[in-house]
């Protein structure tokens, strides 16, 4: 007998269309499939074909639907009608908004372009925004790298032509020992998680170095709960152990690094300590075969690590000699550093020997033939399966640049960079500092700046100084105070503009940077600066234009708001000219495109800049007849050429879309990207995939792809010569001289071989507990704290204290504590955490919100219990008795030293709300609905 079964739809259709674009719920830029029903976003999944995430989607990514529908979205352009900070605005049309901006900016461009300061936050279009600012003619442009991880990026570029994250990645498939330092879990999120999964599957070992054991550190095989700010000391001790034991890759050092390069040894010479070079500027080594002095790159040369060169009674020694002298000394023995680092000496030795064991005893040969830049043919590639990763944790200290450099030296002496199993660059990297532009700052009213704003200085001659020696830039980037500030110093812009130091500006123009709240040190002080008036009642910072998609705390401080779209409503270009999404085996770039049309009167910020650029008549944004050149950002992405044949997107170039890297603009390029899933990938051929800086086949491929214009092999810089040039100036050599009060600091901190120094030895007496923030995996800066789904994961943020400190202070979970620093005081809830460095407390970053912002309810936990540590941090250090207020930044790069904060803690009675409470601001968007719910489709 047959029973009739009810028909079951085993695979119901979840959507009527899938649109593939790029996630922007954090900076990883994973590929996403946006499922649409009846024209609305139904849900988001990972794109399985995408090179970044291969289908993996994190909690943030899937919560993108709530970001797209957030009640905090701005609705229209607005002009301020109440006092600054009140949040009182009037909606205006785009026509009026652009006219106001033009009326403000046009006279500045004509008379004094530097009076515009244009700074962008989490912008992923810096090659475009920088180009716009350059055409305007102001020297005052940068993105947010100065308060994020410029130490990391700069140290990597100056040492080996690339850093971690966007610059390179571990060889996840072959590495056997992975060591990560101070990683924020919301950056490089899915790629690291996928990589860790691979390691765990293969039984590879993970060592996490972090004062806090959360996230990636929680799944590490070994957790090293280091004391904040001492990573450099720990790393230099590892280097000490490895050099002492002779467990370093001498062949690699001799062939591919400056270890054998001779240094001028004549103390009387103005070039003392600089590399010896031939007439063509090529570094000189002694060839082991001939014993002769020779340029490093000649065919057949075998550089000698040990040989010295004697001339005119002076002995010139190679870099390697200096390394031995510096690192084999007693200062770096594990016993000497153990207490300061909070790591027993025995453990430091054990880690050093494990690194050496895996790098050398588990080395392997990969059957890939290749030819190096000296023309030598190699039948195989030697694998050293040890890799490293680091991020902001080691970077955001006043010694972060040298710490990051030390980590690269550790990688290099183990021979683990650009080899199988090690750390590998992602195109367009590797690219040495000398192949990057230098900073430009020469202003001509009515004309573009003389070149790109940001770059890599090679010595004092490249500083951004006016003829009288004063800073050319409002943020004082590229000055003696922070000579190698390659990303600018966004965190100093408001205080310098308020002080009129080095000069007054007229208009502060910012994009996506929450500078009156979690992106500033000392938010209360910044709010005062933004609202301060002069004797005639005018604002000290006369005009502020701000663009954001959401009602962030910063919105209330603008005079004019240009509302941006959400990431699902816009065009974007994740470009090889900028911060691409390449993999170690391939160059890749991607787009965003409007998978949904905005239902508000908003425009993608970059499209608004195309309009504004045309109204201002900026070269590059108008045609010869004065008409607008790019109708919107998509038009710019398609047709702009930075160099002939080289544009924002590398894929589908040429009239028929068949070219990669170089080729004429293709009017259908964006359509081709959409058809291809929103991205483009071009794989590096076998034999060119490793040893990239020295591999002739890779260099040729990179030229074809337009990454370079000609092959440019180079040596890794264990010894960073530009630093030595600044030291020479501080010693009195050269025409450009530092002010006297900075000479000693330059000599001590700008050592060409990485060193370690206390990040702030004088300013924190009595405050002896380190206080850190971390960004949670589920949030991306302040954005996540308004997201209905993600708020359920992190609605508020206790201050976590280690167990012993909880006991000492008589605290229990849920109690409240007063936390103070030399700059301020906060009162916050506490919680105990055992897996924490005993001298450290911490909290999640940017969960705390201001009342009135982000369309949150008045009693939302984010505004009543959430808090920021920023109130305890100041952009200047406490007075040291020398009459000067020193910047709370790395003295080399200007990186904001967020993690140098030290505090005192005492128990207090629970207040009604976390303190301080800054008075509410009026919301420029309607109050949030009680429930956020809607029906998609039928």
- The region of 56-64, 100-108, 134-142, 555-563 touching ligand SF4 under the rule CB under 6 A is 56-64
Of 186 and 815, nearer to ligand SF4 (C-beta) is 186
The reply on whether position 58 binds ligand SF4 by CB under 6 A is yes
The reply on whether position 855 binds ligand SF4 by CB under 6 A is no
What are the beta bridge partners of residue 390?
A: 181
* Smallest distance from ligand SF4 to CB 271, Å: 48
Of 50 and 640, nearer to ligand SF4 (C-beta) is 50
* Smallest distance from ligand SF4 to CB 777, Å: 9
DSSP track, 94-143:
HHHHHHHHHHHHHHHHHH-GGGEEEEESS-S-HHHHHHHHHHHT-S-EE-
* Smallest distance from ligand SF4 to CB 564, Å: 18
Outline where DSSP puts E strands in 750-794: 769-774
Q: Which residue's structure tokens are 């020479």?
A: 728
Contact status, residue 194 vs residue 172, Cβ threshold 8 Å: yes
- The region of 20-28, 150-158, 416-424, 913-921 touching ligand SF4 under the rule CB under 6 A is 20-28
Displacement of CA 244 from its chain's centroid (Å) = 34
Of 23 and 811, nearer to ligand SF4 (C-beta) is 23
- The region of 55-63, 685-693, 767-775, 865-873 touching ligand SF4 under the rule CB under 6 A is 55-63
The reply on whether position 65 binds ligand SF4 by CB under 6 A is no
Binders of ligand SF4 among residues 594 to 653 (CB under 6 A) are none
The reply on whether position 526 binds ligand SF4 by CB under 6 A is no
The reply on whether position 190 binds ligand SF4 by CB under 6 A is yes
684-697 exposure pattern, b = at least 16 Cβ within 10 A, e = fewer: beebbbbbbbbbbb
Q: Which residue's structure tokens are 């004088």?
A: 762
What CA–CA distances, in Å, run from 405 to 368, 419, 507, 680, 755? 30, 19, 37, 33, 9
As a whole number of angstroms, the distance between CA 32 and CA 24 comes to: 10
* Three-class secondary structure of residue 620 per DSSP: coil
Of 26 and 602, nearer to ligand SF4 (C-beta) is 26
Of 59 and 293, nearer to ligand SF4 (C-beta) is 59
User: Which residue in 28, 259, 728, 903 binds ligand SF4 (CB under 6 A)?
Assistant: 28
* Per-residue H/E/C for 794-812: CCCCCEEEEHHHHHHCCCC
User: Which residue in 15, 30, 262, 621 binds ligand SF4 (CB under 6 A)?
Assistant: 30
* Per-residue H/E/C for 520-536: CCCHHHHHHHHHCECCC
Contact status, residue 338 vs residue 230, Cβ threshold 8 Å: no
As a whole number of angstroms, the distance between CA 154 and CA 404 comes to: 9
The reply on whether position 431 binds ligand SF4 by CB under 6 A is no
Of 190 and 764, nearer to ligand SF4 (C-beta) is 190
Residue of closest CB approach to ligand SF4: 61
The reply on whether position 21 binds ligand SF4 by CB under 6 A is no
The reply on whether position 746 binds ligand SF4 by CB under 6 A is no
Of 189 and 565, nearer to ligand SF4 (C-beta) is 189
Q: What is the DSSP letter of 251?
A: H
- The region of 21-29, 133-141, 817-825, 850-858 touching ligand SF4 under the rule CB under 6 A is 21-29
What are the beta bridge partners of residue 364?
A: 383
User: Which residue in 61, 161, 211, 822 binds ligand SF4 (CB under 6 A)?
Assistant: 61
Q: What is the DSSP letter of 733?
A: -
As a whole number of angstroms, the distance between CA 124 and CA 574 comes to: 7
The reply on whether position 60 binds ligand SF4 by CB under 6 A is yes
The reply on whether position 568 binds ligand SF4 by CB under 6 A is no
The reply on whether position 23 binds ligand SF4 by CB under 6 A is yes
Binders of ligand SF4 among residues 227 to 256 (CB under 6 A) are none
User: Which residue in 15, 33, 53, 787 binds ligand SF4 (CB under 6 A)?
Assistant: 53
The reply on whether position 579 binds ligand SF4 by CB under 6 A is no
* Smallest distance from ligand SF4 to CB 774, Å: 16
> What is the strand order of the sheet 205-209 is part of?
222-224, 205-209, 177-181, 386-390
Within 10 A of 399 (CB to CB), how many other CB atoms are there? 28
As a whole number of angstroms, the distance between CA 776 and CA 218 comes to: 13
Of 26 and 409, nearer to ligand SF4 (C-beta) is 26
Of 171 and 188, nearer to ligand SF4 (C-beta) is 188
The reply on whether position 154 binds ligand SF4 by CB under 6 A is no
Residue partners of 808: CB distance under 8 A and separation at least 6: none
User: Which residue in 15, 19, 21, 29 binds ligand SF4 (CB under 6 A)?
Assistant: 29
707-738 exposure pattern, b = at least 16 Cβ within 10 A, e = fewer: beeeebbbbbbbbbbbbbbbbbbbeebeeeeb
The reply on whether position 57 binds ligand SF4 by CB under 6 A is yes
- The region of 19-27, 321-329, 505-513, 586-594 touching ligand SF4 under the rule CB under 6 A is 19-27
Q: How long a stretch of residues is the chain?
A: 938
- The region of 23-31, 325-333, 735-743, 911-919 touching ligand SF4 under the rule CB under 6 A is 23-31
* Smallest distance from ligand SF4 to CB 569, Å: 16
User: Which residue in 140, 189, 217, 547 binds ligand SF4 (CB under 6 A)?
Assistant: 189
> What is the strand order of the sheet 314-318 is part of?
262-263, 314-318, 309-311
* Smallest distance from ligand SF4 to CB 679, Å: 13
Displacement of CA 672 from its chain's centroid (Å) = 30
Cα end-to-end distance, the chain, whole Å: 39
User: Which residue in 26, 406, 869, 897 binds ligand SF4 (CB under 6 A)?
Assistant: 26
Number of amino acids touching ligand SF4 (CB under 6 A): 13
Of 190 and 923, nearer to ligand SF4 (C-beta) is 190
φ/ψ (deg, to 5) at 19? -115, 130
Contact status, residue 144 vs residue 490, Cβ threshold 8 Å: yes
* Smallest distance from ligand SF4 to CB 424, Å: 20
Of 28 and 869, nearer to ligand SF4 (C-beta) is 28
User: Which residue in 25, 184, 584, 826 binds ligand SF4 (CB under 6 A)?
Assistant: 25
Contacts with ligand SF4, residue ranges (CB under 6 A): 23, 25-26, 28-30, 53, 57-58, 60-61, 189-190
């Amino acid at each position: 007998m047959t029973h009739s079964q009810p028909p079951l739809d085993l695979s119901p259709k979840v959507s009527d269309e899938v649109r593939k674009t790029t996630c922007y719920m954090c900076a990883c830029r994973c590929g996403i499939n946006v499922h649409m029903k009846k024209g609305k976003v139904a849900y988001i999944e990972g794109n399985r074909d995408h090179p970044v995430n291969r289908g993996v989607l994190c909690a943030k990514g899937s919560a993108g639907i709530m970001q797209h529908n957030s009640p905090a979205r701005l609705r229209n352009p607005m002009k301020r009608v109440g006092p600054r900070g009140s949040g009182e605005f009037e909606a205006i049309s785009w026509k009026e908004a652009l006219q106001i901006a033009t009326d403000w900016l046009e006279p500045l461009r004509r008379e004094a372009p530097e009076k515009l300061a244009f700074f962008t936050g989490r912008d992923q279009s810096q090659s475009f925004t920088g180009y716009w600012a350059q055409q305007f003619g102001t020297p005052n442009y940068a993105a947010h790298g100065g308060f994020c991880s410029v130490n990391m990026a700069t140290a990597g570029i100056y040492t080996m032509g690339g850093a971690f994250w966007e610059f390179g990645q571990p060889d996840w498939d072959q590495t056997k020992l992975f060591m990560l330092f101070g990683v924020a879990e919301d950056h490089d999120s899915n790629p690291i998680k996928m990589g860790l999964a691979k390691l765990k599957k293969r039984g590879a070992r993970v060592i996490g170095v972090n004062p806090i054991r959360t996230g990636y550190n929680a799944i590490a095989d070994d957790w090293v709960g280091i004391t904040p700010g001492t990573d450099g000391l720990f790393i230099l001790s590892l280097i000490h152990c490895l050099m002492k034991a002779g467990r370093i890759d001498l062949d690699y050092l001799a062939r591919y690094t400056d270890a054998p390069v001779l240094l001028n040894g004549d103390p009387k010479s103005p070039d003392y300590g600089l590399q010896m070079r031939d007439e063509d500027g090529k570094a000189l080594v002694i060839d082991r075969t001939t014993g002769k002095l020779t340029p490093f790159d000649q065919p057949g040369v075998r550089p000698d690590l040990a040989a010295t060169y004697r001339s005119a009674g002076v002995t010139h020694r190679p870099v390697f000699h200096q390394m031995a002298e510096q690192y084999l000394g007693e200062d770096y023995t594990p016993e000497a550093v153990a207490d300061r680092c909070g790591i027993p000496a025995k453990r430091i030795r054990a880690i050093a020997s494990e690194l050496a064991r895996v790098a050398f005893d588990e080395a392997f040969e990969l059957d890939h033939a290749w030819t190096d830049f000296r023309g030598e043919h190699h039948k195989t590639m030697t694998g050293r399966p040890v890799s490293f990763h680091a991020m902001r944790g080691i970077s955001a200290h006043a010694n972060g640049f040298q710490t990051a450099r030390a980590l690269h030296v550790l990688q290099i002496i183990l021979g683990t960079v650009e080899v199988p199993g090690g750390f590998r660059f992602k195109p367009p990297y590797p690219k040495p500092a000398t192949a990057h532009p230098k900073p430009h700052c020469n202003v001509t009213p009515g004309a573009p700046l003389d070149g790109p704003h940001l770059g890599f200085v090679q010595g004092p001659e490249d500083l951004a100084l006016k003829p009288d020696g004063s800073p050319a830039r409002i943020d004082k980037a590229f000055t003696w105070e922070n000579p190698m500030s390659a990303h600018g110093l966004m965190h100093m812009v408001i205080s310098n503009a308020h002080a009129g130091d080095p000069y007054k500006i007229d208009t502060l123009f910012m994009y996506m940077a929450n500078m009156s709240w979690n992106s500033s040190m000392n938010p209360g002080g910044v709010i005062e600066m933004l609202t301060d008036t002069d004797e005639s009642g005018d604002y000290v910072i006369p005009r502020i234009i701000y663009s954001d998609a959401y009602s962030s705390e910063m919105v209330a401080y603008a005079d004019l708001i240009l509302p941006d779209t959400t990431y699902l409503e816009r065009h974007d270009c994740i470009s090889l000219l900028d911060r691409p999404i390449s993999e170690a085996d391939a160059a890749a770039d991607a787009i965003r495109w409007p998978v949904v049309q905005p239902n508000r009167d908003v425009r993608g910020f970059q499209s608004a800049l195309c309009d504004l650029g045309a109204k201002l008549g900026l070269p590059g944004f108008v045609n010869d007849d004065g008409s607008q050149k790019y109708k919107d950002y998509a038009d710019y992405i398609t047709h702009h050429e930075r160099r002939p044949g080289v544009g924002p997107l590398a894929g589908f170039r040429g009239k028929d879309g068949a070219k990669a890297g170089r080729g004429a603009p293709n009017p259908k390029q964006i359509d081709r990207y959409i058809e291809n899933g929103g991205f483009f990938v071009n794989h590096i051929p076998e034999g060119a995939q490793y040893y990239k800086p020295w591999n002739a086949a890779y260099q040729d491929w990179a030229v074809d792809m337009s990454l370079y214009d000609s092959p440019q092999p180079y040596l890794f810089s264990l010894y960073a010569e530009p630093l030595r040039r600044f030291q020479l100036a501080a010693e009195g050599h050269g025409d450009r001289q530092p002010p006297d009060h900075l000479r000693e600091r330059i000599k001590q901190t700008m050592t060409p071989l990485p060193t370690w120094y206390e990040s702030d030895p004088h300013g924190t007496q009595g405050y002896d507990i380190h206080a850190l923030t971390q960004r949670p995996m589920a949030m991306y800066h302040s954005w996540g704290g308004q997201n209905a789904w993600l708020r359920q994961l992190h609605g508020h943020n206790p201050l976590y204290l280690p167990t012993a400190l909880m006991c000492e202070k008589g605290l229990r979970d849920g109690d409240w504590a007063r936390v103070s620093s030399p700059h301020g005081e906060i009162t916050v809830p506490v919680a105990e955490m055992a897996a924490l460095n005993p001298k450290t407390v911490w909290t999640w970053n940017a969960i705390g919100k201001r009342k009135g912002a982000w369309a949150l309810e008045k009693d939302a936990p984010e505004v009543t219990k959430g808090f920021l540590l920023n109130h305890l941090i100041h952009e200047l250090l406490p007075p040291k008795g020398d009459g000067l207020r020193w910047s709370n930044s790395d003295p080399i790069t200007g990186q904001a030293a967020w993690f140098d904060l030290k505090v005192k803690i005492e128990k207090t009675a629970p207040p009604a709300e976390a303190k301080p409470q800054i008075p509410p601001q009026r919301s420029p968007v309607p109050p949030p609905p009680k429930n956020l719910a809607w029906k998609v489709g039928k």
